[in-house]
Amino acid sequence: GENVEQHPSTLSVQEGDSAVIKCTYSDSASNYFPWYKQELGKRPQLIIDIRSNVGEKKDQRIAVTLNKTAKHFSLHITETQPEDSAVYFCAASIRGNTPLVFGKGTRLSVIA
């Protein structure tokens, strides 16, 4: 089955700097790649997603890139703010008919 690896497990950045989180997946049939943000004590919430027919997607300070050949995708957060501090999860879905497989998460701390 699909396996999703996520790195790093923890990341600290200064406010205003950029943060990058990387994920790799194993099954080339995966076609949907969402990113979730989970604040302490809250539910995971989708922040951005990308499909296999697109290489990059942006939404204000957040962007996701996908390299299908290398089977990896990355989350980029620019101009980080303290409210970006949270745990971020990447995920992948095979052909849209199996449940999402999640990475183990990255704890991002933005230091003011």
Partner 1 sequence: NAGVTQTPKFRILKIGQSMTLQCTQDMNHNYMYWYRQDPGMGLKLIYYSVGAGITDKGEVPNGYNVSRSTTEDFPLRLELAAPSQTSVYFCASSYSIRTSGGRSSYEQYFGPGTRLTVT
Collapsing DSSP to helix, strand or coil, 83 comes out as helix
**Beta bridge partners of residue 107, listed in sequence order:** 10, 87
Binding residue for partner 1 (CB under 8 A) from 17, 28, 95, 111? 95
Shortest distance in whole angstroms from residue 41 CB to partner 1: 9
Residue window 3-32: x/- pattern of binding to partner 1, with contact defined by CB under 8 A: ----------------------------xx
Q: Between the CA of residue 25 and those of 16, 31, 60, 94, 111, what are the distances in Å?
A: 30, 11, 26, 10, 30
Binding residue for partner 1 (CB under 8 A) from 72, 74, 102, 109? 102
Asked if 99 touches partner 1 (CB under 8 A), the answer is yes
